[in-house]
Chains A and B, each alone.
Chain A
């Protein structure tokens, strides 16, 4: 019997990153900008994507990948807008990974898209580690999660381009300081952009829409 050492060097997250890079190149070839929309359960991810589709579907061709444990429920909401939607059921998984996105991209009409929204599984932890091939990473938190939610999840804010503090119209009712959440996000990541939104305050949604427009126009 003899014993030998074999070099393996397989990094689980790097392996994901390689597929993510492939997705990113593919999307870039088609001139598509992809937004990875992350946030806790009930933070408002689906609603903010719906509002973006409502406001922008005449200007841009939009597609959506809805990821969830049972993704069909959100996917049905998006289908009402008559945009291409892929329901990516993760089953038991707590996050989307680059491989799942690669499969979804196969099923989307890439020739007919300018913007792809990828709604991640409701979770502020696991999606942080998994790049998907996106160009912009967006994290949404709502005031009802408590105004210490940002400092409790520093890593996701460190890795995102945009932080949205949502449902600010109910801040008082839930005893949360939305401005503190914004300043916490900026302390975590001085290069992040942070905005406050509520679906009931039209002007606040304008900031979200402007962000998408600016990012898309720069990408082109």
Chain B
């Protein structure tokens, strides 16, 4: 629902970084998106593609890195929820129990990112 405003923030951050580094253009963007955010990935990319027209990042390739939910538990388990649990994503509140001990509320350490990790930019060659 708020994909457009999230896309705006992503766009502004990239543009600011590009300008600060004297970029001629942005060629690629690595964007991490957690599976548990309430963001529709396709819609977000769609908004970005529309937004970048005519800008430094018009031709940038957006590399989407989907981050699965990762938990840390009192029992010592630290890792990604296993596939059986993740398959139940529409029901994920039930399925987020610790794969190690079954504790229903391990801490979530990853899976809620909307993170611009890095960008590749083109610079003018120094003569």
Contact = CB atoms under 8 A, between A and B. Distances in A.
B115 A12 contact: yes
B122 interface: yes
A126 B2 contact: yes
B94 interface: yes
A13 B118 contact: no
B27 A3 contact: yes
Contacts of B119: 5-6, 8
Contacts of B37: 13, 129
B14 interface: yes
Interface string A194-206: 0000000000000
Nearest to A128: B38
Contacts of A123: 1
Contacts of A158: 93, 96, 105
Interface in A118-133: 123, 125-126, 128-129
Contacts of B5: 93
A13 B114 contact: yes
A190 interface: yes
B123 to A, nearest CB: 5
B36 A7 contact: no
Nearest to A5: B120
B43 interface: no
Quick one: which of B2, B10, B112 has the most chain A CB within 10 A? B2
Contact of A6 (B105, B112, B113, B121): B121
Interface stretch (A30-38, A46-54, A149-157, A164-172): A149-157
Given A6-B17, A190-B104, A13 B38 contact: no
